[in-house]
């Protein structure tokens, strides 16, 4: 508190334990910055056409674009849209429906106050921007007065159906009643705010997206068309967004992993109705505490599997991924089916442990219908995939392989499970969150001669996973197919009938046990699920949610796309050597991997055991060796089977030797951690092969 008073002498520090101080934080004048950027652009040869309305954007046969304005046409190799509140109507001209809808944001400007006038007369520096998260507002100096910017509940979405043609720089009427709780909180924290008169209440439109992050990157389904939309914090991200887009357009990929802002992270489910609810939710949660296990409730459920009601009846507590509702965990009888969010172990810790034991000791049933699923076929299919993925394609019908699409620097862009369906047909499965991201990548890479067909069948097929030492016993009761190891070995797939359902059974799973992924036409899911539950009753079958699956997969050191596998780490850094066929014909990223092997791999992927107390790692924790930061965790869990807290991480090679003692920062405390062998559970894969 004394340090807070030194930085903000006009603040009341009563009740405060501490604060975070960003010495390089600040604010900019948007108009001045915009003019400076414009001057820099002109100096670099750019032409800026003010007061020019775009009336149409038309694709050309060669992949270029023609921008039609009210003052003529402009031919462009690439188009970038940065249209703020006009985003939805701009992109509608090219057939895109994106979840950018503005929300009304108000701020209060006060009259001058003598205390601030006196500070400035003494030549004292401006006080830092003050943000009080518990009260959801920011406060800063503005000349000799103050600006209060709340992020209040009840702020409505606006321009839902587009910005009127006659709208220019107008503002909405202020609504002080909506701001009253924040005004009272600000007066309690900074008493002079209550003494200064109100000079103005500004209420304008700020573009928002469902997760609060902007859309920066290529447009789905369109070549040479780029988005820079949904910036809820205005021009503050302009420099970085412009730089990364320019490098992406010039070099074919971004210099850092931008999946968190990639426009393709949203699918068709993120329509207008969805965006209104989620964008208002994102706005009112700007200053709330965000927990690693939080699941926000607005606009849910959006997409559900046919057995959603079965999960509800079993006590499921749901999360969502790419719009799909998925059981995160199952509350047993007598336990409330709701999350108690925390940075520490919380109410779902015990039930998740039971689900892990169900999968390891008996048989678990997991609904991962949201997996992305694609069919690639045609006379050029194998050559197409061979040139795109680092691994060789499976040669025998029914064989399974894991393949990775890489960047030119060898980073991991996408991960696919691949099953060969025939001489010219392959079935690909990837992360549920990557449906548009992966489909767009595959579609834009297709040869132009029609020799390869691509079909996105994600919504037409469900996936239930049966995993555990008794999974064969359960499945054999429902099929006449031979499920023995000899007839149906690990890493193979077959088309069989399970009960009444036609099923693509793939002997692979993400938990590291004997088991099958059962891919099926979605209309058969309820009958298939009920048959599995009934057949598994005598073997102690039980539901297994996503949080248990996370614990189980980390016990096997399985890498998760988007967490452990990103474009910022190469396939060799990620320890994916066995999935990289350097001796096959050229594929994207091969040259970079060859150079890296010759020059030395800069990072190593390791598994750590952590001496945790009641707070386990989640991922993104820094790692230290002798006080020096040498890497970061990418995933973290409590391993209920092995009875230890675990993390997956990238470290410098000198810290990768087995037994190396490290420290991991968890909630501000350095906890001991050490490098252990990969896959602490069943490292020889005996159970998978059983």
Taking only the tens place, the pLDDT of each residue in 621-637 is 999 999 999 999 999 99
Q: How confident is the model at residue 192 (pLDDT cuts 50, 70, 90)?
A: very high
Say yes or no to pLDDT of 602 above 90: yes
Whole-number percent of the chain with pLDDT over 70: 100
Q: Note the residue count of the chain.
A: 690
Distance CA 333, CA 313 (A): 11
More confident residue, 213 or 169: 213
Distance CA 559, CA 574 (A): 8
Say yes or no to pLDDT of 25 above 90: no
Query: What pLDDT digit, counting tens, does each position of 119-132 carry?
Result: 999 999 999 999 99
| Per-residue model confidence (pLDDT) at position 671 | 98
Distance CA 549, CA 199 (A): 55
Distance CA 2, CA 433 (A): 46
Residue 542, classed as helix, strand or coil, is: strand
Q: How confident is the model at residue 679 (pLDDT cuts 50, 70, 90)?
A: very high
Average pLDDT over the chain reads 97
Query: What pLDDT digit, counting tens, does each position of 346-364 carry?
Result: 999 999 999 999 999 999 9
Give 498-517 as a DSSP string. Answer: ETTEEEEEES--SSSSSEEE
Say yes or no to pLDDT of 620 above 80: yes
What letter would DSSP give residue 655? G
Strand partners, 629: 624
Element (H, E) at 324: strand 324-330
Query: What pLDDT digit, counting tens, does each position of 541-569 carry?
Result: 999 999 999 999 999 999 999 999 999 99
CB burial class (10 A; 0-12, 13-18, 19+) of residue 382? Answer: buried
More confident residue, 35 or 26: 35
Say yes or no to pLDDT of 430 above 90: yes
| Per-residue model confidence (pLDDT) at position 169 | 77
pTM value? 0.96
Residue closest to 408 by CA, chosen among 590, 648, 663: 590
Q: What separation in angstroms does the CA of 31 have from each of 207, 236, 239, 626?
A: 18, 12, 14, 47
Q: How confident is the model at residue 212 (pLDDT cuts 50, 70, 90)?
A: very high
| Per-residue model confidence (pLDDT) at position 619 | 97
What domains does the chain contain, in order, with CATH numbers?
102-208 (3.30.9.10)
CB 427 within 8 A of CB 410: no
Say yes or no to pLDDT of 256 above 80: yes
Say yes or no to pLDDT of 234 above 90: no
| Per-residue model confidence (pLDDT) at position 636 | 98
| Per-residue model confidence (pLDDT) at position 381 | 98
Residue closest to 682 by CA, chosen among 454, 481, 559, 511: 511
Dihedral angle sign, alpha carbons of residues 78, 83, 84, 88: negative
| C-alpha distance across the termini of the chain, in Å | 61
Say yes or no to pLDDT of 170 above 90: no
* 591-596: average pLDDT: 97
- Report residue 146 as tokens: 């103050």
CB 530 within 8 A of CB 520: no
With a CB cutoff of 8 Å and minimum separation 6, the contacts of 181 are: 135, 152
């Amino acid at each position: 508190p004394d340090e807070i008073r030194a930085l903000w002498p006009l603040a009341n520090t009563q009740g405060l334990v501490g604060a975070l101080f960003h010495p390089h934080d600040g604010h900019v004048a948007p108009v001045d910055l915009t003019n400076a950027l414009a001057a820099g652009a002109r100096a670099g040869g750019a032409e800026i056409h003010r007061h020019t309305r775009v009336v149409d954007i038309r694709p050309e046969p060669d992949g270029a674009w023609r921008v039609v304005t009210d003052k003529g046409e402009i031919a462009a190799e690439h188009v970038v849209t940065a249209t703020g509140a006009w985003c939805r109507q701009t992109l509608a001209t090219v057939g895109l429906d994106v979840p950018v809808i503005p929300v009304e944001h108000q701020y209060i400007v006060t009259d001058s106050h003598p205390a601030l006038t006196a500070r400035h007369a003494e030549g004292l520096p401006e006080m830092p921007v003050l943000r009080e998260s518990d009260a959801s507002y920011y406060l800063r100096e503005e000349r000799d007065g103050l600006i209060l910017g709340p992020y209040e509940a009840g702020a409505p979405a606006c321009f839902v159906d587009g910005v009127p043609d006659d709208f220019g720089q107008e503002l909405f009427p202020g609504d002080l009643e909506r701001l009253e709780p924040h005004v009272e909180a600000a007066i309690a924290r900074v008493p002079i705010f209550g003494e200064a008169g109100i000079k103005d209440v500004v209420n304008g439109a700020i573009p928002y997206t469902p997760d609060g992050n902007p859309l920066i990157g290529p447009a789905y389904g369109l070549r040479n068309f780029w988005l820079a939309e949904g910036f809820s914090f205005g021009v503050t991200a302009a420099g970085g967004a412009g730089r990364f887009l320019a490098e992406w357009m010039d070099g074919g990929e971004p210099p850092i992993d931008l999946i968190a802002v990639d426009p393709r992270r949203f699918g068709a489910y993120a329509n207008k109705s969805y965006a209104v609810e989620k964008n208002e939710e994102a706005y009112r949660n700007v200053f709330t505490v965000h927990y690693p296990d939080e699941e926000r409730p607005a606009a849910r459920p959006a997409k559900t599997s046919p057995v959603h009601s079965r999960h509800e009846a079993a006590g499921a507590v749901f999360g969502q991924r790419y719009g799909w509702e998925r059981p995160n965990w199952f509350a047993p009888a007598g336990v409330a089916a709701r999350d108690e969010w925390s940075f520490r172990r919380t109410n779902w810790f015990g039930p998740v442990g039971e689900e892990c034991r169900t999968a390891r000791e008996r048989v678990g049933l997991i609904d991962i219908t949201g997996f992305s699923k694609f069919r690639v076929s045609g006379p050029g299919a194998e050559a197409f995939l061979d040139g795109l993925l680092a691994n060789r394609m499976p040669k025998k019908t029914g064989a399974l392989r894991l393949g990775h699409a890489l960047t030119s620097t060898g980073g991991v862009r996408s991960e696919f499970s691949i099953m060969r369906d025939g001489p010219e047909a392959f079935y690909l499965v990837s992360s549920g969150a990557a449906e548009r991201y992966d489909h767009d990548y595959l579609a834009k890479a297709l040869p132009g001669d029609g020799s390869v067909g691509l079909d996105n069948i994600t919504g037409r097929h469900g996936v239930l996973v049966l995993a555990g030492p008794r999974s064969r016993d359960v499945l054999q009761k429902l099929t006449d197919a031979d499920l023995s190891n000899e007839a149906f070995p690990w890493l193979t797939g077959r088309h069989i009938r399970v009960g009444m359902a036609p099923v693509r059974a793939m002997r692979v799973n993400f938990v590291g046990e004997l088991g099958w992924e059962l891919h099926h036409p979605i209309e058969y899911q309820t009958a298939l699920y009920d048959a599995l539950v009934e057949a598994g009753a005598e073997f102690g079958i039980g539901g297994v949610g996503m949080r248990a699956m996370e614990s189980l997969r980390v016990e096997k050191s399985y890498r998760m796309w988007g967490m452990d596998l990103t474009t910022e780490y190469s396939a060799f850094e990620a320890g994916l050597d066995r999935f990289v066929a350097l001796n096959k014909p050229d594929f994207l990223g091969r040259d970079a991997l060859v150079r890296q092997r010759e020059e030395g791999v800069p990072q190593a992927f390791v598994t750590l055991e952590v001496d945790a107390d009641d707070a386990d790692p989640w991922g993104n924790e820094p790692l230290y060796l002798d006080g020096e930061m040498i890497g970061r965790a990418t995933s973290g869990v409590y391993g209920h089977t092995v009875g230890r807290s675990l993390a997956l991480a990238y470290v410098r090679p000198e810290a990768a030797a087995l037994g190396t003692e490290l420290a991991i920062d968890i909630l501000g405390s350095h906890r001991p951690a050490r490098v252990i062998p990969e896959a602490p559970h069943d490292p020889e894969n005996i159970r998978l092969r059983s």
